[in-house]
Homo-oligomer: A and B are copies of this chain.
Amino acid sequence: MSEKVFASAQEVAARAGVSRSAVSRTFTPGASVSAETRRRVLEAAEALGYHVNELARGLMRNESGIVCLIVSDVATPYRSHLLCELTLLLQNAGKVAMLINTDRSNGSVDRALRQAIRYRADASIILSGMPDKSIAQLCLRSGQRLVLINRDDEEPGPLRINLDDYEAAGRIVTAFVRAGCRRLAFANSEAGTPSLMARERGFVAAASALGIEVFVERHGWTGYEAGKAIAQRMLTRAERPDAVFCATDLLACGFMDTARHQFALSVPNQLCLAGFDDIEQASWSSYNLTTFAQPVSAIASKAVEWLSHPQPEDDSTSQGQSIRLHAELVWRGSIRGG
């Protein structure tokens, strides 16, 4: 890694018999170079195996082309799906994605953002966890764009993309009731992220409006295992629920498996279930889960679009923009009727 290995613009210039500036201009779209010069430069570059050094370019331009993706639980279906979509769009926009994996410990998002700053990332997209306000401020002050996905929050400055979690949760109550269910329950994790809590509140509120009280259980992390554990508890209660809304598809899968294989309950005949995210597994025929679809592509494209276009921040306070997307109900077979 120590010996010099790459041809520099200098050497290309020498070989092509032009100045270094000419080389630079050849590789800068929209710069003024004559066709002849350009040809000779390209030829020399090819011969020498020249590749623009983005580090140096970023240094001068004050724009690295790097976008940081800050995310925990990368291996989770929903997260990896979003990640996939984002990287694809970023690449198309001529940016490059730097992936920072945060665990759930606190302070790890801050470390990630600091890393982003050190590489002078043009922007950061936060898929999980919340940055400390001071760090977020630092990012913003330093001209870095910040996008928060599904982290509803009043932090000023960044772009915030959220779903209508609250309303969606209300809609599923209707579906449950229409299916004849009366003993409603909500399965949540202890994570307590804004979107999860919004789903819970929306569900409870809508049920309450119909005079139904919801049994809420929060347990563990937002995964399959937690779903099993919650089912374990809920289904052994005297007053067993006949409809459960799980805050997440993973929870729902775990719940359904335990309900069927351990309690021999038939879904949806004896128990109605719904989830949220519409991960791939929800459509697998073993689950066939009715759920809400995260508009992953829309989320990703909104984010990238906002990063690419010098967004209209003429808005006086530069208070940041907030986008609210719709989570569509995907009707499958885990609720009666339909």
Contacts and interface: CB of A to CB of B under 8 A. Distances in A.
A54 interface: yes
Contact of A51 (B64, B118, B284): B118
Nearest to A134: B49
Contact of A80 (B80, B117, B118, B122): B80
A117 B51 contact: yes
Interface stretch (A135-143, A158-166, A182-190, A214-222): A135-143
A106 B75 CA distance: 25
B119 A103 contact: no
A22 interface: no
A39 interface: no
Given A5-B143, A118-B53, A75 B64 contact: no
A36 to B, nearest CB: 26
A15 B6 CA distance: 37
Contact of A84 (B75, B141, B284): B75
Interface stretch (A92-100, A149-157, A202-210, A324-332): A92-100
A81 B75 contact: yes
A138 B122 CA distance: 29
A118 B52 contact: yes
A4 to B, nearest CB: 7
A47 to B, nearest CB: 13
A contact patch SS: mixed
A287 interface: yes
B114 A3 contact: no
Q: How many A residues are at the interface, by size bracket? A: 35 or more
A59 B53 contact: yes
B99 A87 contact: yes
Tally of this chain's copies:
2
Contact of A75 (B80, B141, B224, B286): B80
Contacts of A100: 87, 91, 96-97
B143 A1 contact: yes
B49 A55 contact: no
A257 B286 contact: yes
Nearest to A123: B1
Contacts of A117: 51
A120 B83 CA distance: 23
A138 B88 CA distance: 25
Interface in A55-79: 55-56, 58-59, 62-64, 66, 69, 73-77, 79
A253 interface: yes
Contacts of A4: 62
Interface string A1-24: 111111000000000000000000
A101 interface: yes
A104 interface: yes
The 10 closest A-B pairs by CB, nearest first: A80-B80, A74-B84, A87-B101, A286-B286, A75-B84, A99-B99, A257-B285, A75-B81, A75-B80, A54-B118
13 contacts: A1-B63, A5-B142, A5-B143, A49-B142, A73-B84, A84-B103, A87-B101, A96-B119, A97-B100, A224-B284, A257-B284, A258-B285, A286-B287
